[in-house]
Amino acid sequence: MTTSAQVFEFLSQHMDNPDTHWSLGAFGAIAEFMRDPDEPTALLRDTTAISATTGRGGIRITPTANIRPYASETAVGQSWNHRIALCLPHEQSGMSRRTVLTEVGPDEEALREQDQQSVLFDLGLDCLQVDCCIRVSNAAVIDLLRAHVGRTLFEVGNPAMGIIFAADPRRVFMSRLGRIEVFQPIPRADGKSPQGPHTHVLPKLLAHGRTHAATEPIPEDLVPCVHLYPPHPVKDAMGRPRPFDIERHKAFQQLFEMFGNPELVALKHRIATAVVAGEEPASTTIADGRFARASIRVTLRQLQAADPSRPKLAAWMAAHANTSHRTLEEEDPSEDGH
């Protein structure tokens, strides 16, 4: 069994690695943190927390004794994504669940000392495991927002969202396991997210009321409060292809065996063994199920990335081609390139 000390050390190593990226939020409201390898970064670690702060944003993780890392992989397009969700039991994951714009007060837990007297406003998005806030230092903007406290941002005729876009405040997303702060500008409605730390707030996806994408096989009694995305073997953080890196692949497979669903881990081993042995697809009986089918597709794509010339691999891929419609995850921007 993995101890709290081992989890803390694992998280510290990934905080130190600029190729590991992070997100915090719910389905439809996500803050992401990433940094460049040569970007000036303040890395801090004490007995209870680890953090990284750059000129574009920052993250602090405060793991608790009941944290549960959960590793998973998802077939996306012709490739796959991977991630580790840092989960808490459902009854311990809840945040404020505010439903209207609310003044919270000075952000005394801000990553940078100069931000600790700036005022937090909760956007009132009513997400179970995350408080989605903005932080404002301009007194005039604070007064403008105070005039609309108690109203939902999505109320017809409410000017608060326009005030927020014009002011371009810091975004601060918080869960029971930490926070992500974004200092970069809010992208315009017709613009792309900037490289580096950024946020997504999409009302259409929030309306589903989900804590995470439906294709992520989180156990029902757990809620993901932070995600980390270790370096991917075939693409960079922006989703651009790169040559297959066997060491990155092995590193995540070790994490998958430690923190993944044991049944899916065993299934991957069984499929890989059959393909490498040159067996026909029909020779292996596979229990049906959404996550099992997805795991098979991931396994086959990983085998193809490592050696596309394997005999029978094309037949396996044809037999397990994904013919389903688009899933919720394929619309979820929290999966940017990971």
| Domain-located, residue 143 | no
- pLDDT number for residue 136: 98
Taking the whole predicted model, whether its pTM rises above 0.85 is answered as yes
Q: How many domains does the chain have?
A: 1
Assigned domain for 127 exists: no
d(CA 159, CA 132): 18
Q: Which pairing describes strands 178-182 and 57-61: parallel, antiparallel, or unpaired?
A: antiparallel
* DSSP reduced 3-state for 196: coil
The answer to the question of residue 140 being in a domain is: no
Q: Which pLDDT score is estimated for 71?
A: 98
Domain that holds residue 275: 1-93+176-338
Residue 171 domain flag: no
Which residues are CB-neighbours of 229 under 8 A, at least 6 positions away?
20, 21, 22, 23, 81, 82, 83, 84, 237, 338
- What residues have CB less than 8 Å from 12, skipping those under 6 apart? 45, 50
Q: What is the pLDDT of residue 63?
A: 95
Angle at alpha carbon of residue 144, lines to 143 and 148, rounded to 5°:
110
8 within some domain: yes
Q: What is the pLDDT of residue 331?
A: 40
Closest CA to 69 of 172, 173, 219: 219
Distance CA 179, CA 58 (A): 8
Report the first-to-last Cα separation within the chain, whole angstroms.
Answer: 27
User: What pLDDT score was predicted for residue 251?
Assistant: 97
Predicted local confidence at residue 321, as pLDDT? 83
Distance CA 277, CA 4 (A): 39
Note down pLDDT in tens along the chain; length 338 residues: 578 899 999 999 999 999 999 999 999 999 999 999 999 999 999 999 999 999 999 999 999 999 999 999 999 988 999 999 999 999 999 999 999 999 999 999 999 999 999 999 999 999 999 999 999 999 999 999 999 999 999 999 999 999 999 999 999 999 999 999 999 998 776 667 778 999 999 999 999 999 999 989 999 999 999 999 999 999 987 788 999 999 999 999 999 999 999 999 999 999 999 999 999 998 877 777 889 999 999 999 999 999 999 999 999 999 988 755 444 344 444 455 55
Give the pair of three-digit tokens for residue 321. Answer: 């081609």
Instruction: Report if residue 287 sits inside a domain.
Output: yes
Residue 141 lies in a domain: no
Q: Give a yes or no: residue 320 inside a domain.
A: yes
Task: Give the per-residue pLDDT at 288.
Answer: 76
Among candidate residues 201, 168, 170, 164, the one with its CA nearest the CA of residue 183: 170
